[in-house]
Every structure is written in structure tokens, then in C-alpha cells.
Amino acid sequence: MCIIACTTMTSMAQTDSTATPSKNDTIRIGGMVIIRKPGETRDREVRIRNRKRDYKPSKVSTNWGILDLGFSNFTDNTNYISADAQAYAPGSNASWFNLRNGKSRNVNIWFFMQRLSIIKRAVNLKYGFGVELNNYHYKQNIRYDANPPAVVNAPIVSLDGTMGRNYTKNKLVANYLTVPMMLNFNFTPNRSDPFGFSVGASAGWLYGSHNKTKTSDEGKEKARDDFDLRPFKISYIAELNLGEIKFYGSLATRSMYERGLDMTPYTVGIRISSFD
């Protein structure tokens, strides 16, 4: 095709070298366009350009294996002088449940997160499935038991006057299987790392919880029980996309305990994903 085109153009030039074309000569060869502009001489300008194929992004995109790294905490609204609080944790006060903030971590593993375009990829529905892992490290020597009362304080003075255990490590672990659903607003829909934010809610099921303690003399111990934690958790959730940097946060709608304590958990952290 190229040879034929060039031969034709050469033949036309030889036939009438003085004629001035009135318009551009255009030849298309596959995805290539050759344009010859009008001129007074035989040396005329030839431009070669490629035609751009139309790009239509998919309305559904899936991101596999998203990792969240952050911190777990709670808002404590417990009335410690109430009968319910004292039945759950006799002698307790707000200082019992003070956290080591730097060690109280939240790790979320989202097996997948999918985005469904609603309006030109600028407004999307985002949903997924994964696990939430929450660790609450306490400053005080409290211990969770499977039988009531659920929480006791240590060290304990025994009858012979000796001190009980002194915990060097003490944490409550609460893990959930969670389904998030958000409305996503994407300000830069043509970028692979967009700017925008998402808001919505998540529903979680408590699939595992335990209290892990460590002493210098007896080592580690683990008590497995639900400790009257609620089996289901509904949370408000949000994420902020700043290009390659992404943040997340969650706030439960009510206390994570069914009785005794009124503590509403929340998390904040950074989200690690290959794209939005």
C-alpha cells in the first residue's frame, strides 16, 4: 500500500509540476494517516500521524488484596458507679481500661474491593469483603475471664500477703469478618491514582476474640471467649484518596459490649492498595 501510494504521488508530481493543489491530499494506511499539504514546488510537506483509538474504561474495576495499617481505640461512656458496670468489672473505674495508644493497633485485610461506576466514574459504588483485626493493649493489670465477673484487676493480694501476677503484656483481641459499602466521589476519574473520598457503612461479625497476657515468671496465657462482646458491629466508615496516599477511618454505631461497659470503638490509619 505504501509503495502504491508513493508511486501515485510521484506520478502526479511528474505529470503536472507547476499545478498548485487546491486542497490537502490524504491517504490512510491502517492506523496511519499521510497528509500532503498544497505547495508551489515539488517538495511538499508530508505529515504522518497515528489515529488514537477510543478508550472506554470499564464500569467495574476490582482491587485484590488491600492492606490497612492503623490504630484501634474507643470512646468510653461507661457509668462506673452503675450496678451493671460493677457486676461486669467489680471495683472498676475509667483508669482500668486506659490504653497504650502506640500498641493498640488495627490491621484490616480486604480480600477484594470493587468499584461500580454510577455516573461516568465520577460517582461510584464501592464494596468488598475482608477481616478487621483489633488489638487493645491496656496499661493496667486487668484480666478477662470466661465466667462472671468478666474483668478483674491484678495484681491480687493473696491470704498470705504475697502479691499476685504482674502483667508485662495485656491485650484484648477482637476480630471481625466485615462487608463494607461506600459511595465514592472521584474528582479525577481518568487517573490511576485519583483524588476523592468515600463514605458509607460496614457490617461485621465477631468470629474470634481472646485476652492475651504475659508475665515474667509464667510467660504467655490466652483466654478464649466472647467476654460479652456484641456478635455484630455496624460502623460508619470513610476513606480519603490523595493520589498515591490513602487514609481510612471507622466509628461503630454503639458499644462493643452487650452489658456492663459502654465503649464505642473507632479506628484510623493508612490504606495500602495498588489503585483506588
pLDDT tens column, 121-180 = 899 999 999 999 999 999 988 889 888 778 887 654 433 444 456 778 899 999 999 999
Give the pLDDT of residue 33: 60
| Cβ contacts of 96 within 8 Å, gap of 6 or more | 89, 138, 140, 142, 151, 153
pLDDT at residue 172, as a whole number: 96
Q: 246: exposed, middle or buried (C-beta count within 10 Å: 0-12, 13-18, 19+)?
A: buried
pLDDT of residue 3: 57
pLDDT band (50, 70, 90) for residue 86 = very high
Cα angle 264, 266, 270 (rounded to 5 degrees) comes to 175
The answer to whether 258 and 87 have CB atoms below 8 angstroms apart is no
Choose the weakest-confidence range: 60-64, 107-111, 135-139: 60-64
The pLDDT value given to residue 87? 92
Quick one: which H or E segment has residue 271? strand 263-272
Element (H, E) at 181: strand 167-186
Average pLDDT, the chain: 83
Alpha-carbon separation of residue 180 from 70, 107, 141, 154 (angstroms)? 17, 15, 35, 38
pTM: 0.75
Give residue for cell 509464667: 218
